[in-house]
Amino acid sequence: MGTERVERTYRLEPLDTSGIFLGLGVVQCILIGAGISTSVLLITAGAPLAAAAVPVVAGVTASFARVGGHCVWEWLPLVAGWAWARVRRGRRWSAPLPLWSTTGVAAPMPPCLAGLDIVSIDWRPNQVLGAVRDRHTKTLTAVVPVEGPQFVVEPRPEQERLLAGWGDVLAQFAVERGVVTHLAWSDLARPSGMHEHLAWIDTDRRGERHPDAWGSYRELVDVGTATAISHDVVVTVTVAADRLGRHRASTGNSDEHLQRALVGSTDALLRGLRSAGLTTTDPLDPHGIQRLIRTRLDPVSARPKVSHGRLIDRLALVRSATAGPVAVDTAWNHLRVDGAFHRTWWIGTWPRLAVPPTWLEPFLSGGGITRTMTVVLVPVSTHQSRRRIERDLVKLESDATTKEDQGRRIDARHRRATQALVDREEELVAGFAEIAYAGLVTVSAPDLDTLDEHGEIVEQLARENGMDLRVLDARQDVAWAAALPLGLAPKSLLAS
């Protein structure tokens, strides 16, 4: 007798919110501790009890009260960071003009992209590899265009096999002393426009013989254009100089060692992607990265235009000096880059329940909206993962003991966090690597009203798929930069 097949589901664990003591974070402990200490000093000095209670009440209020979707204490670094960024970088930035007179010179970049340039690396005979170099963090990033099979229409066993293959791609970089700091996939989805087909039906005076049929067909195509979505997916791999080891990093040709490390990591990524059943082309060369940057800066205007029956691709005119933005205007909850308005969200909560392989498809295929979803993946070595699990388990067990001694109940969130760590430890022993991750969603629109409208649609689509999107207020410039496929990973906000 055959055994019944059990369909696999997947669980995405939330951020660690257990804090450092009884679920309280560092800032909350400082605020409450400072309030209690101040109250004790006031009582010792003979102050009235009502006056002495004010610091405690203020500390508790700042720690737990919420205003505008944020805890009160979260507003302090947000406002301070916003004010400092405006003083240091200013709200508006514009590139020196004219750009076209500086042929062969790297494009000027705004403060959020400062230190980035594009370099060429010898890869294969008569082929060069384009890389984004970050001079501040000393990293190199390669960009690989990726296409896959029609995942949604594949049978469930094939979907699970493809996901397992993607897991194997990530696991190969979760090693001790690895040079890869993180990988990322970025999907730009926008109305396709069916530009090539529209250009074809408008040429050679096709509508003159049967104008009624031509008009009806053109109307049908226009309706389909409004819902058809094109996806542009790339995978990036980033290597860092501080991962090279002391000997290689200290030698005079450390840049050459870093370039060789990127070439080796890119080749390994290509082999892994093809083994996983994904279709990849060669990594982008410098000109390909320039076109990619120009597309992501203004995805609304970067689409090809049809003029007099001809398809005009303005990206063909992009050069090194014109690949960057011309003007950037940063606001509290959005960003304007050239002719496009952007707003970036952080995926603060992933689905709490187990999900099937295709759970993200309804969100990715939302029609009529230009948006980019970027997921940064940080491989964690086995040694680091084991130490983190042991540390977090000790912390949770200590909190549970303290709560029992104080007569407080252990809630479901605490129990689930403990069980998630135990499950992760078992998976680690079984040979599965740990991957930390963070998700960013950027919506782009031609004007602010459309951006607000499309932002509400994206937030609703996220809720329907079990995700909670949080606008990164006061950090829109750096959040938008981190969502670009340029190797700029957020230093926090990672779930693990």
Q: For 349-382, how does the pLDDT look when each residue is reduced to its tens digit (9 = 90+)?
A: 899 888 999 999 889 887 678 999 999 999 988 8
List alpha helices for 365-491, DSSP H. Answer: 382-405, 412-430, 448-464, 476-483
Q: Cβ distance 442 to 74 under 8 Å?
A: no
Q: Cβ distance 327 to 95 under 8 Å?
A: yes
pLDDT at 264: 94
pLDDT at 119: 92
Q: Which amino acid is at 357?
A: P
Q: Give residue-wise pLDDT tens across range 161-211.
A: 988 999 999 999 988 888 999 999 999 998 875 555 555 566 555 555 556
* Alpha carbon distance 418, 381 (integer Å): 21
pLDDT at 219: 67
Both tokens of 15, joined, read: 């951020």
User: Exposed, middle or buried: residue 140 (CB in 10 Å: 0-12, 13-18, 19+)?
Assistant: buried
This prediction's pTM? 0.83
Return the residue matching tokens 């995942």: 151
CA distances from 40 to 21, 27, 58, 222 (A): 21, 20, 14, 72
What single DSSP character describes residue 491? S
Return the residue matching tokens 């079984």: 430
Both tokens of 201, joined, read: 């039906």
User: Exposed, middle or buried: residue 173 (CB in 10 Å: 0-12, 13-18, 19+)?
Assistant: buried
Q: Cβ distance 436 to 494 under 8 Å?
A: yes
138: left (phi over 0), alpha (psi -120 to 50) or beta: left
Percent above pLDDT 90 for the chain: 33
Q: Which of 201, 230, 204, 228 is nearest to 215 (CA)?
A: 201
* Alpha carbon distance 162, 483 (integer Å): 25
Both tokens of 321, joined, read: 């000096």
Q: Cβ distance 489 to 181 under 8 Å?
A: yes
The strand pairing partners of 468, in sequence order, are 349
Angle 156-171/254-275 helices, nearest 10 degrees? Answer: 160
Residues recorded for the chain: 496
* H helix or E strand, kind and range, residue 335: strand 335-337
Q: Which amino acid is at 265?
A: S
pLDDT at 201: 61
pLDDT at 89: 67
pLDDT at 308: 46
Question: Which parts of 125-201 are beta strand (E)?
Answer: 127-134, 139-147, 180-191
pLDDT per residue rounded down to tens, the chain (496 residues):
455 667 888 888 766 665 666 566 777 788 888 888 888 888 888 888 888 888 888 888 877 777 766 677 777 777 877 887 777 767 889 888 765 555 556 778 898 898 899 999 999 888 899 999 999 999 999 999 998 777 877 888 899 998 899 999 999 998 888 899 999 999 999 887 555 555 556 655 555 555 666 667 666 666 555 557 788 999 999 999 988 875 455 555 788 999 999 999 999 999 999 988 888 889 999 999 999 998 999 888 755 554 444 444 555 556 666 778 889 999 999 999 998 999 999 998 899 888 999 999 889 887 678 999 999 999 988 888 888 888 888 888 888 888 888 888 888 878 888 888 888 889 888 888 888 899 999 999 999 999 999 999 999 999 999 999 999 988 899 999 999 999 998 766 555 4
